[in-house]
Structure 1
Amino acid sequence: MSAHAAQLATDAYLAETVKSARREELPLLLFDGALRFLGRAQALAAQGSAEAFGHQIARAQAVVDELNVSLDLEQGGEIARNLRDIYVFVNGHLASALVARDARKVGEAAGLLRELRDGYEHALRSRG
C-alpha cells in the first residue's frame, strides 16, 4: 500500500470515528489530531523537509483554531477565556516554530496540548 493510499484509509477511518463520537468526546479527537500532526512535524523537521513540515504545522494550527472557536466564552467563563489564551499562545508558538523550523518549539506546543488533552480526558472520565 502506498503512503498516499494509507493516508486516505486513515483519513476515512478518522472521519468515521468523528461521526460516531459523542459530542463531549470531540475535543479529545481534536487534541489527538493536533498532537498527531505535531508529531509528524517534529519528524519532518529532523529530516529537513520544510514544505511537509509547514503542512503539518498548518494542519495542527487549524485544529487549534477549531478548538478555540468552539469555546463558549459566556458559558465557560474564566476557564474558557484561559483556554482561548492558551490556544492563541500555542498557535503563535507554532508560527514561530514554522519560521525557524524549530522542532523544539513544536515539542513545547505539543506538551501544552498534551496537558490540556489529558486534563480534559480526566474530567470527562470523572463525570462518568
Structure 2
Amino acid sequence: MSNPSNRGFAASTYLEQDIRTADPVTLIAHVYDLAQSHVARARAALAAKQMAAKGRAVKRASRCLSLLQTSLDLERGGDVAGNLDRVYAYLLRRLGEGHRRNDDAAFAEIAAHLAELGSAWREAASRRRMEAPYAATAPSASAR
C-alpha cells in the first residue's frame, strides 16, 4: 500500500519539474488553469455557504489574475498586451464584486472568460511544443 503523502510529494516534484522546464507560454496556460480551478472552488464554496473557503479561493484566483496582469509587457506587447491588461483589470473587479455580493453570476462570467482565454493559451503552448522539434533540427542562418 502506498503512502498518500508520498504520492503528494511525487506529484509536487513532477509539477515543480514541469514549471522549471516549461516555456513562458506553457506557464501562462498553467496559471489560467489554476485561476479556473480557484474560481470553480469559489463557486462551490458559495453554493455550500462556506464563506471562509470562498474567500480563500477568491484570494488565490485574484493572485493568478494579478500574476497574469503583471507579466504583460505593455511596451513590446502592443495592442494585444493593452487589451489583455484591460481584460485582467475587469476580471479582478468582477471577482471582487462577486466576492462582496456573493454573486455566482459574476464568478460564472469570470470562469467563462478564463476558459476561453485559457483555451487559446493552451493551443498556443501545444503549437509551440509541436514546432519545437522542427526548430531544433532546422539549419541555422550561420550554417548556410
Range into which the TM-score falls when normalised by the shorter chain: 0.7 to 0.9
The percentage of aligned residue pairs carrying the same residue is 28
- Secondary structure of 1:48 counterpart: coil
The structure 1 segments of at least 4 consecutive aligned residues displaced by more than 6 Å after TM superposition are none
Cα deviation per residue 1:17-39 (whole Å; 9 max; x = unaligned)? 32232222110000000001011
Query: Which structure has greater helix proportion?
Result: 1
Please say if 1:30 is aligned against 2:27: no
Q: How does 1:59-74 map to 2 (within 5 A)?
A: 59-74=60-75
Number of residue pairs matched?
A: 123
Match of 1:103 in 2: 104
Separation of aligned partners in 2, 1:123 and 1:24: 7
Which amino acid in the other structure matches residue 107 of structure 1? A
Q: TM-score, normalised by structure 2?
A: 0.76
Cα distance in 2 for residues equivalent to 1:16 and 1:50: 34
**What does residue 142 of structure 2 align with?**
none
Structure-2 residue corresponding to 1:19 = 20
Alignment CA distance shift 1:78-1:57 (3 Å): same
C-alpha root-mean-square deviation of aligned residues, in Å? 2.1
TM-score by length of 1: 0.85
Structure 1, unmatched stretches of 5+, are: none
Residue 40 of structure 1: how far off its partner (Å): 0.8
Q: Which amino acid aligns with 2:35?
A: A
- How far, CA to CA, are the matches of 1:20 and 1:45 in structure 2? 36
Q: Which has the larger radius of gyration?
A: 2
